[in-house]
Every structure is written in C-alpha cells, then in structure tokens.
Amino acid sequence: MNLVKFELDKIFRNKFLLVALLFLLLINGFNIWKDYSIRAEWEKEYYSHKKTFYELLKGDITAEKVKWLTEQNDYADKLLSGIESDTSKLITDNAYVDFNISNEYIDEIRRLYNYNDEVKTMKEKNEIQFDFSQEHTNTFLANCAKKIDTTYMQRNISGIYNYSQLEEYLDYSFTEFFIIIILLLAFSPVFATEYETGMYLCFMSSVGGRKKVASAKLAVISIFTFIVTFLFSVFDTVIFTLCLKLDGFSSPIYALSSYKFTPLICSIGEYIVLLFVVRLIGFLILSVFVSLLSSVLKNSYITFIVSIITMFFLMALEVYGKNEVGIFSSLNPIKLIVGSDLFSKFGVVNLFNIPVFNYVVSILLGLICFIVLCLFVIKVNNKNQRSKKI
Amino acid sequence: MIKQELYKLCIKRKFLLVMVFVFSVEFLLFFYSSQNIKFEDKASQIKYQHYMDLFSGAITPEKRSEIEKLIENDEQIILEMAEKEKKYIEREINDEQYVELLNKYSDYKEGYNGYVAFIETYNYAVENGNELIDSKPWDLLFNNESIDFLLVILITMSAIFLYISDLENGVELITVTTENGKMRKDFTQVVICIFIAAFSTIVVDIGKYIIIDLVYGLKNPDLKLSNIEIFSESSYDLSLIQAYLITCFIKLFGSIYLVVLTCFTGIYLKNSLLTGFTSIITVLMPNYILSEREYKYLIPLPSAFLTANGYLFGDMIYTEIMFKKITPLKLLLVFGISVTIIITASIKVIRRNKL
C-alpha cells in the first residue's frame, strides 16, 4: 500500500503533467463552448424562440399538447397565406418562425410515435424469421430471432425532450483525444524513468523491488486513468449542460434517433454511466499498453512517439475498418473508447449457437486484454531486472 | 564539427534509420491513399479516363453539345428502365422479358460510376467557368488542410536526438568546458537541425509529387488554381504548379520554425519527453480547435505554415462557417512575427553558453 501511495505521489508531484491536464481540460471546455454556444445572431434568436415552444411541450406527450401544436401550426400557416390577420395568438411574434418551429416539433412527435410502429413491424418480420429458422433447424438464427423479440419487447417513447442536443453531447468524441494525450504523457515515463535514472539497480536489491513495484505502478496507472477519465467526463457533462441546457436523462436511450435499434433497455442517464465504464476499460488497456512499451523500450521519449503513432494507427483502423467484424476488430481499444458504435445497433456474435451481444463480447475481450497486458508488464519487468542481476 | 555532430546524430543515435523508416512509411501510406482515388472497378476507371481523354481542356460549344447529348441519352435510358420496371411490377411483362431487359442494361451500367464522376466534374467546371480537368490527383497532392503528422514527428525527433538529449543527460556539463563546446557547438547543432527539417520537407514534397505523377499522372500543371475545388474561390492568379511550389515553400518555413521552436523549448524544459509533447501539442491543437476557420492561419505558430493551403483560399462558406480570405497583408504580418520569433529563439539557443 505504501508503494502505491509513493507511486501516486510521484505522479501528482509532476507539475508539468498537472499543468498539461488543466490546460487540456480548459481547451476541451473552450472547444465545446465554441462549437455549441457561439452561434450567429439569427441562430441565437431562433433557439430562444424554440426554447419557448420547448418549455410548453416538454415532458409526456399528451393529446392536449398535440392538439395545441397542430392548431398553432395551422394558425401560423393561415397567417402566412394571408387567410388570417390577427397575430395575437403567436408565440414568437413571427408567423414564419412559429410555423417552422411547430413543424419541427410535429415531425419530432411523429418520429416518436412512428418508433412504436417501426418496432412492431420489425417484430412481425422477426416472427416470420423465427418460424423459418425453426423449420430449417437453424438453431442460431432461431435463437437470434428469440433474442430480438425479448430485446424489443414492450418499447415505447412517451416523452418529448431535447433529444437532438443529447445526441450532440453523446456524439462529442474530442474529449477522448485529450484523455489519450494526457495518458501518454503520464505513462510513457512510468517504467522508462527507472531505467533512465538507474533506479532499477536499487529495486533489484530491495525486498519489494520486483513484482511489487510493477504491481504498485499498475495500480497507480489504473487509479490515475480513472481520475483523468472521470474528470474529463464530469467536465464534459457540466459544460454541455450549461451550453445546451440538457434534460430528459430519464428518457429511454432508444428515444435518440441514432440509438433507435439499440439492444440496450435503459435510460439515457444510465447509458452515460455505462459509456463511462466502457470507455474506462478502453483507456485502462491503452494505459497498460503504454506502460508495457515503457518497460520494453526503456526510454520515455521513444515510448511516447511509438505510443502516439500506434494510437493514430488504431484510430485509422477503427475508422477504415468500421464494418469489419472479428476478434481483432473487437480487440481494438479505440472501439471501447469511442463506445457509442457498440451500442447503437443490434449486433450479435455466434457463440456455440447462442447469440451474444457484440458489446458484451467487446467488453469481456477488453477486460481479458487488460489482465493479460498487466501480467505481461509484471513479467517483462521481473525479467528485465533478473537479467540485469545475472 | 558538422561532420562529427552528423555522425553522432545519424549513426550513434540511429537517426538515419529513423529517417529511412519514416520516409518509407510516409511514401507507402501516400501510395496506398493514391490508390483510393481510382475507381473500385476497372470498367469505371476506363470509362472515366476515356471521357477525360475525349473532352478534357477548354469546354468548347462542340464539346458541350456532345456531353449534353450523353447526359440526355443517359436520362432517357434511366427513364426507359424505370418504366419497364414499373411494367414488370404491374405484371405487364413476364420474368423472362425482365431478365432479358436486365441483361441489356447491365452492359450499359458497366463502368457507370466512371460516367457519373465525369459528369460531376463537367458540371463543376461549367458552374465555375473552368476548364475540364481530372482534378483528383491534384486534390490528393494538395491534401486539403491536413498536417503531415509523420513529418512533424521526424522534425521534432531530429531536434530532440541532437540537441535536447545533450541537455537532458548532462553531456553539456562536459562540452561547455571545451573550446568548441559553447556557441559553436550550439550553432552547429541548430544548423544541422534546420538542414534536416528542410531536407525532410523537400524530400517528402518531391516524393509525393513523383508518386502521384507515376501512379496517376499530373496533367495540366499550367491550369489555373481555381480549377481545384478547395481553391475554387481563390483570387490568386496562379497555375497549379506555382501554387504547389508556394505551399511547399510555406511548409518548408513551417518546418524550420518548428525545429527552432523545439530547440528553444528544450532549453527550458531540459527533458526530451516534455519537449516532444509540447512541440506536438503546439502543432496539433490550433489545427483541431480552430478547424474550419481562418484563425488558425493567423496564429504565428508552426501549425499555420505546416498546413499552408489556407493561405491560398478565398472567401468561402466552409461547412456553414465563413472562412475569410487571408489577405497578403495579414500573411506578411504573420510571417513577419514568425520570422522575429525564429530569429530571437535561434539567438537565444546559440548564445546560451556565451561566456
């Protein structure tokens, strides 16, 4: 425990790292604010009008709300076509804006209503597939059909919220880039410094100098990775909430259009927590990989360069090989770090004729990868020190 | 002394090996990406090339009428097919007739992507009053607004391997007591770093030009810059080759700026990792944070010059954001500030050990 404390202290005494962390946090905040808050004057005005409508509509979709919205839309339409001249009932003092915004919300309500129909159609098709699979004794397909049925059972969206803004928040992936940079800076020297400064000679002769130091370092790597990921995630959420006034966290995740066929049955708030955990696993794999490189290359700068090139390579692999399915694709930590792709669609892996969700396989593989890498780090450091001793 | 320092860097610290490796990866990646501009199917490539050979150059009334005829013919065939499909759905024609029809049109559809791409190029040329050219190889050569990340790494590595590592591992304490170990050594090291940065940039730029010329053929180098889509609003009266040379020169300046700035940062940080991190962040951040805006070209940092292309852009709407042209006056101002920084930083680096 003392070793962990000491190693943690070493990281927190690194002023450059802390300054870089603070700098990147601020840059990230600025980036979000710039992209989602600085808008042209007409846009600002439009959004403020939209907010007035939103305040009247948010929450459960009721027959009264739908009736009011359609009436408002008809009224604005009549004003625009010159049939009506009394403007007293307008919400925004501008018939054109009223018409456009009410149309947007009508479309949104239609989308939410249609979701239930879409799921119904999908389930009907699925039943046909189930019968077909049973007839042709294809156990896997039959099991898949069963899984689809249980996954999409009893789904409906009852509330209207600013889903598009929640999607913007969930789609924002620049934070991951900042976290990767900080982790590379923090962990490139983690083992290499001991070799650069000759400290490994001391470890060799001390009681806790072999596996214990490596294990303590790995514990610190995990703790620091958690802290950095947590800090950036909280900072992201706060800035986004301030910029976009997010709400509707209790709505089901499938209310978001890009997640309409997600296999998950949880609220948006719960999904954010799940995404954090999955990303954390991805970052842990990455951190341990960097520390493994640090042990092997024994030079902080070279480790940093090799790691950064590897990261870009993995990112390119994730972008260009998005449609590739297979064990190597699942092992890419960037897949877990980006996260959302794992949950947005229904995807299964055939495991002895039992369909297992892609995200479950990826998370399990990620955890196994993390443990294997940890063992490698301990083994490499033990071996390095033993060979020096000889 | 130059010889000894070069020997130390290239052989002892294995930078030559790193350089060869980076160049190989760089050219391999570029070669791979140059394959992407070709069509997936050979028939489309042949068709596209065939039309380009027939019609490239100034769009004369004869060429225009021939191309319009092609478009008309295509529209007619598409309409005809849609009608037949409708008839098939309504069961007015039977399966055999439909299969026969499909076979007939499949011949026409062979290499259809090539035809579509050609018509798109033609429409763009007509809209902008340009000549009809195959701009894809030039687009790839200019590579929009991306920074050559491998080149950035190579440049910072040269400064770190030669200059910063001496500061980091305490070699300087010995060299500073020798006759040539003060200003002369620092001067030589900085000159070598600048030379390597310039050499690497030139090699990469020339290499890319040769690769794309061999793979695809860079035709019409004398055509106006506005023939390329990213420069469509450019007000500069430059040919494509002139524009490429100018961007290469700006990149060269950016590389020299980056290497001097890395050496300068190294004096204070005295750590390879931290210096490397700072340099890479200085290059990457402005590009990511101020993407799609002209501001990134107005910040007097290496990232602006390493991107280079934006200095030749005109006023344009770039994914809903207004990109305002960098006027020659603004360019001169940024260039002037950067030159001042380079000179000050170089003097600081060289005169550091002046006794």
Task: Tell me whether residues A34 and B289 touch, CB distance under 8 A.
Answer: yes
Which residue in A has a C-alpha nearest to residue B156's C-alpha? A305
Q: State the complex-level ipTM.
A: 0.77
Q: Which residues of B touch A175 (CB under 8 A)?
A: none
Residue A385, pLDDT score: 55
Could you state, in chain order, the average pLDDT of each consecutive group of 10 residues for chain B (355 residues)?
83 88 90 77 82 81 85 84 78 76 76 84 79 81 83 92 84 78 83 94 93 83 81 84 93 95 91 91 86 82 89 73 81 93 91 66
The token duo for A227 is 């802290």
Q: Interhelix angle for B112-128 vs B61-89, to 10°?
A: 130
Each as own residue / partner, the long-range contacts of residues A2-6 (CB below 8 Å, 24 or more positions apart, any chain) are A3/A208, A3/A212, A3/A213, A3/A216, A4/A216, A4/A219, A4/A220, A4/A223, A6/A216
For A31, the closest of B153, B280, B289 (CB atoms) is: B289
Instruction: Please tell me the least confidently modeled range out of A13-27, A64-78, A146-160.
Output: A146-160
Contact call for residues B266 and B161 (beta carbons, < 8 A): no
Taking the CB of residue A364, how many other CB atoms lie within 10 A of it? 13
- Planar angle of CA A340, A342, A345, nearest 5 degrees: 95
* The dihedral sign for the CA sequence B178, B182, B183, B189: positive
Residue A123: pLDDT above 60? Answer: yes
Q: Which residues of A touch B273 (CB under 8 A)?
A: 185, 188-189, 300-301, 304
Contacts (Cβ under 8 Å, ≥6 apart) of A139: A133, A353
Task: Tell me whether residues B273 and A188 touch, CB distance under 8 A.
Answer: yes
Which segments within B248-320 are labelled E, that is strand?
A: 316-318
Contacts (Cβ under 8 Å, ≥6 apart) of A302: none
Residues A365-388 pLDDT 10s: 999 999 999 999 988 887 655 555
Chain A nearest C-alpha distance from B289 (Å): 6
Choose between B189 and A159: higher pLDDT: B189
Residue B191, pLDDT score: 92
For B153, the closest of A20, A300, A305 (CB atoms) is: A305
Helix, strand or coil, per DSSP, at residue B218:
coil
DSSP letters along A287-347, please? HHHHHHHHHHH--HHHHHHHHHHHHHHHHHHHHHTTT--SHHHHH-HHHHHH-HHHHHS--
CA atoms within 13 A on the CB side of B55: 29
Per-residue pLDDT, averaged over A193-219, amounts to 79
The residue among B74, B61, B62 whose CA lies nearest residue B120 is B74
Share of chain A above pLDDT 90, in %: 22
- Planar angle of CA B81, B83, B85, nearest 5 degrees: 70
For B273, the closest of A30, A174, A301 (CB atoms) is: A301
Residue B231, pLDDT score: 83
Q: Which residues of B touch A309 (CB under 8 A)?
A: 150, 153
Which residue in A has a C-alpha nearest to residue B154's C-alpha? A305
Q: Which residues of A touch B319 (CB under 8 A)?
A: none
Residue A42: pLDDT above 70? Answer: no
